[in-house]
Structure formats: C-alpha cells, structure tokens
Amino acid sequence: MIPVQGLERQKVAVLGLGRSGLSAARALRAGDVQVLCWDDNPKARAVAEKEGFTVRSLKGAEDFEGIARLIVSPGIPHLYPAPNPVVAAALAASVPVDNDIGLFFQSFATLAWDKFDVAPRVIAVTGSNGKSTTSALIHHILEHVGRSAQLAGNIGRGVLDLDPAVDGDVVVLELSSYQTELARSLTPDIAVFTNLSPDHLDRHNGMGGYFAAKRRLFAEGGPDRAIIGVDEREGLFLAGQLAEAASDDRVIRISVTRKLTGPGWDVFARKGFLSEYRRGAQVASIDLRQVAGLPGDHNHQNACAAYAACRSLGLAPKVIEAAFHSFAGLPHRSQTIAQANGVRFVNDSKATNVDSAAKALAAFRNIRWICGGLEKDGGLDGLADASGGVRKAYVIGREAAAFAMQLTVDTEVCGTMETAVTRAVAEAEPGDVVLLAPAAASFDQYDSFERRGEDFTNQVKKAIGQG
C-alpha cells in the first residue's frame, strides 16, 4: 500500500466504494487521514462499514464543512453529461475534487528514496486503444530483464495498492481519460500516448473534451520523455506542442502508417518490421511478423510504444526483441483461444469501439466475424473500409437487427453468442478465422467485456468438442 502523504489529520471524503474507492480510503487511513465514505449502493456501504470506515451521506454543501478534499472514483461523472450530486455539492462548497491517481502521484515519492542508487520511475500510458497491451508489454519486458516493476491503474492493481518503491523500481500505469482528466497531480517520468479515436464522448462532451482529458497527462504532467503516436492529427499536434525543436529527442514519435526519419527520435513499424531512427539514421530493426503475441498493425503500434518506453530506460534493442517473443498477449485482446480443423478462433472482446474493431479486422483474413452489442455514438461507418477480409458477420446483441443493417458485408442476425458461434463454426472452412470483435459495448447482454469474452471462449470450446 502507498500511504497518502500531505493530508495528515485532515478530513477527506471518498465517493464510490468500488476497487479504486476502497483502495483510496485505506491508503488515506494509512496516512493518518480521517475518512468519510459514500456510495449509492447499500452493499458497497456495508463493505466499507465492515472495514471500520465512517459512512455518511454527502448530498449538500453543508455536508462538506471541514472536508479538505473529495476523492471520486473513475466511473462517476464530475462535469459531463452532468455532475454527480455529491460532486456538485463539493464544488459548491469550494472543496477540491481529486481521484486516486492524484493521490498516488502526491504520495509515491518518500524520503527513503534519498538512499536509493537508482530513483524509481513512473511510466504512464494513455490513449483510446492499446493502453492495456502496451502497459502489460512494458511490464513484461522489464520483468524479462530482471528489473523490479509493478503494473497498476486501469489494469492490474489499484495505484494505491502498489508496494512502496524499492531501489530502481519502475511503476507502469495504464490511465484512462476518466483518470487523467481529474487527477490534481500528474507527474510521470515517461508518458505514452498511443492513439485517439471517438470514445466516451458523452462523458467528455465531444472529441475536444476527450482529447483534452488525455492531453493533461503531458501538458500538466511535464514528463521527462513523451512517446506520442502521430497517426492521428491530435497526436501529431500534441508532439508538436511538446517538442522545442524538430530535433528534440525528449519527444519520441511513433507510427504504423508511414516511415518517420526526421532529425529527432522516431520508432515506426511498416510491413511487419519495427525500426528505430535517431537523427535520420536507423539504429535498430525488429521483425515483428514472427511475434505470436502481437498480431496486426494495432499490436505493432503497441510494440513501437513499449519499445520506445524501454529504450528511454536504457534497454538494448536485442533485449527488447527477445522479450517480445515471450509475450503471450492479454486475455480478450486478439487472443487465440483455440484452433480446430484448420480454423483459428480469436477473442478480441476488448474491441468495444469501431476503431479497435477495425484494427482487429485488419489483422486477419477470411474472417467469420462475431460482432454487435450496445452501439456507441458515431455509428459504424468506420468499419466499411476494414471489412474487406470478412466472409460473413454473425451479429449478437439486443439490437442485432439494427446493427446488422449498418454493415456492408453478408450478415446473419444471431442475437446470442451461442447462436453466433454455432453458426460460424458450422460454416467455417480451413483457413478461416472466427473473430469476436464486437465494435460495441457489452452492457446490453453482459456486465463487462471480460464476461463477453469468456462466454465466447466457452461457446467455442463447446462447439468444437473441447468444452
């Protein structure tokens, strides 16, 4: 646990008592802070009370008298589409609003670091797609070389559940826009921006607000090194804002759409090869085509980002390349779950938006595509150019018929995962890939994308006789 520093003997309120909320409450208590908790869910309140926390409703500005800060869990809106009533009450009472990420950056460094030979480092990864894989890959590479490393944030443990740093420790944080937009302190040593595509637009009041939430990690964090995906205009703009000159190698630009050979520091992947250029000259190259855990251009972008982060820590290209080959990938992200009768079955349930689904489709050929779910804002037009490898789509979800009408490929309305898998298996031929890449949220039928991916896996195993 990371005890919170700087709020000793003060009173702090915590709103939302899920994983991050309870973790924040415990870390605050460990830092000699008086903690008040609230959650609209009675079961969550009961858990907090059982741990000895004071649970109290915080509905009006008068309830915040004497409270130094309100800590808000990521899923709770604080501005758009409308602030939660508790957040509104805190703001009306002039109480600062923060989250566990802000508390972490405020509290991670301690006086014990003065005795370390190598100061601990924090790598923070954000972006629309690829955050989890990039973060896990960086962590994997560090473990591969025997470096002390911890993984947390939107993946793995809550940030305040991390162990106190040891000499030379590296903390890798996956941070969502919900986390970066509210944290009052953001001070990573290395910050990574993978890409940007429409997502969570209601929460951020459009693309401008969404980009602004991501940008805070760099503009307010002031990292020593920024690794920026420049395949979208927002990333290109961000890189330009951060660099003092074209040759400023504090900014590492990454791409999977074009060759980058400027006067600075560039990492890009084309036709399956990752290349590192510095001052216009190539210094390293890695063949990614044989790396089983990183299939497709979208994973090659993740590889570029992770490579750049580890090179920033001084790791050698050959060491990073060796670690790539032992990376198994993450569950529900281009994960091969079975092969039978010449057919490959791939679970990419994490492809919850159009852009991530399009990238999954681009990674394979002869696709039996299982898609559908709770459609997000913006429609499905972005899938038209990516569906050339699709032989047929099998659509699930409560609104499967409406979803299917927007697709430009042969479709079959299936409704349930069981029906979709059964039909895809029945029609699949050797060389085909049965791919779950929903391009939609899961909440119309499942409580998470993980549950959806698990159902796909179970249905596949049953259908091919491995269940």
CATH label of the domain that carries residue 56: 3.40.50.720
Per the structure, the complete domain to which residue 219 belongs is given by 108-325
* Domain limit, last residue, from 266, 299, 325: 325
CA dist 302 and 246 (Å) reads 24
CA dist 295 and 327 (Å) reads 11
Helix (H/G/I), strand (E/B), else coil: 198: coil
Nearest Cα to 374, choosing from 447, 325, 436, 323? 447
Q: If you average pLDDT over every residue of the chain, what do you get?
A: 94
pLDDT at 382: 83
457 is in an annotated binding site: no
pLDDT at 399: 94
Residues 146 and 290 in one domain: yes
Q: What percent of the chain has pLDDT over 70?
A: 100
Residues 313 and 347 in one domain: no
Residues 84 and 160 in one domain: no
pLDDT at 377: 76
Say if 436 falls within a structural domain: yes
Looking at residue 147, which CATH number applies to its domain? 3.40.1190.10
Say if 281 falls within a structural domain: yes
54 is in an annotated binding site: no
Say if 136 falls within a structural domain: yes
Say if 4 falls within a structural domain: no
pLDDT at 42: 94
pLDDT digits (tens, 9 = 90+) for 103-122: 999 999 999 999 999 999 99
Helix (H/G/I), strand (E/B), else coil: 412: strand
Say if 258 falls within a structural domain: yes
Residues 145 and 94 in one domain: no
190-193 and 149-153 beta bridge pairing: unpaired
pLDDT at 204: 92
240: pLDDT confidence band, cut at 50, 70 and 90? very high
163: pLDDT confidence band, cut at 50, 70 and 90? very high
* Domain limit, last residue, from 45, 68, 98: 98
Which residues on adjacent β-strands are paired with residue 396? 415
* Stretch 411-420: mean pLDDT: 98
pLDDT digits (tens, 9 = 90+) for 130-151: 999 999 999 999 999 999 999 9
Residues 168 and 314 in one domain: yes
Q: Is residue 143 within 8 Å of 121, Cβ to Cβ?
A: no
Q: What is the largest CA-CA distance in the chain?
A: 68
Nearest Cα to 403, choosing from 347, 445, 458, 363? 445
* Stretch 433-446: mean pLDDT: 96
- Return the residue matching tokens 């050339």: 388
CA dist 87 and 296 (Å) reads 42
Q: Answer yes or no: is pLDDT of 467 > 70.
A: no
129 is in an annotated binding site: yes
Looking at residue 376, which CATH number applies to its domain? 3.90.190.20
pLDDT digits (tens, 9 = 90+) for 34-86: 999 999 999 999 999 999 999 999 988 889 999 999 999 998 999 999 999 99
133 is in an annotated binding site: yes
**pTM to 2 decimals?**
0.86
Say if 441 falls within a structural domain: yes
Helix (H/G/I), strand (E/B), else coil: 3: coil
pLDDT at 60: 85
> DSSP H helical segments within 344-411, as ranges?
354-362, 400-405
Residues 319 and 341 in one domain: no
Q: Answer yes or no: is pLDDT of 123 > 80.
A: yes
Residues 44 and 115 in one domain: no
Residues 279 and 343 in one domain: no
* Stretch 437-447: mean pLDDT: 95
Say if 263 falls within a structural domain: yes
Q: Is residue 145 within 8 Å of 166, Cβ to Cβ?
A: no
Residues 132 and 249 in one domain: yes
Residues 72 and 154 in one domain: no
pLDDT digits (tens, 9 = 90+) for 295-347: 889 899 999 999 999 999 999 999 999 999 999 888 888 888 999 999 999 99
Say if 391 falls within a structural domain: yes
261 is in an annotated binding site: no
Residues 274 and 158 in one domain: yes
* Domain limit, last residue, from 325, 346, 380: 325
pLDDT digits (tens, 9 = 90+) for 254-272: 999 999 989 999 999 999 9
Residues 167 and 113 in one domain: yes
Count: domains in the chain = 3
Compute CA 209 distance to the chain's CA centroid, rounded to the nearest angstrom: 18
pLDDT at 372: 96
Nearest Cα to 62, choosing from 37, 94, 38, 35? 94
Q: Answer yes or no: is pLDDT of 191 > 90.
A: yes
